[in-house]
Structure 1
Amino acid sequence: MIGAGQLDRRIQILRRAAGGNAFGTSDASGSFVVQGDPIWAAKRDLRVSERMGQQGGLSAAGIAATVVTEFIVRWSTAARDVTSKDRILCDGVTYEITGIREGAGRRVALVFEATARTDR
């Protein structure tokens, strides 16, 4: 069971904006919009990695830093509808969802594993 005190972060689900262009094809601009109300979650950073960036075959283009984080939320119909195509906004950082699994038993919690660039 998840205690209320463990859910100490507010996360916002972001979904790719629906829309089209003049040719009737979908908008691939990558813009995301707020989906539903904020959700209480527990946040746990799993690992951080850094690597040298590459630009045109030259090294020293910068260091790319990423963090892998899991967000644990209570199971709900809104949380159930989240997919790996969505994003999570937490404390001003946008995370890309890389995996979703049940946690703490059937229909008790969902765990979103996500990555974010921390060097921006």
Structure 2
Amino acid sequence: MDAPRVLVIGLDPYRVPGPWDPAPVAEAIAAGMTRFAEAGVAVESCLFGLDGSDDIEAVVTAALGRAVWEVVVVGGGVRKPEDQVELFERIINLVHRLAPDAAIAFNSTASDTFDAAARWLDAPG
């Protein structure tokens, strides 16, 4: 049996404007992704920037089309800031349209991304 497939959609911490240190977030993302490999779950990340360098809908559409996904996790950076509600809605509607059979999960932090997906998988936690 093939490993379940999870797509994680979120912000590229190195391409989010502002005076902040993206390294801790990037490290937390990498650590969170490692948990998928340890559990035998295939995972792919779809990270995009808010710096204007990406056509976000095109990036997300391409990622959604690369495989059949059992779960799509939408990261907190996309979901939490109130000023990004329109972006969040666009992404959820893309997932709904392009991966209609996938469960949609939400993480709280980069480090609990596996836990968010595992709620919808028969994967060991």
Q: Say yes or no: TM over 0.5.
A: no
Higher strand fraction: Structure 1 or Structure 2?
A: 1
Larger relative CO (CA 8 A, sep 6+): 1 or 2? 2
Higher helix fraction: Structure 1 or Structure 2?
A: 2
Larger radius of gyration: 1
Q: Normalized against structure 2, the TM-score is what? A: 0.24
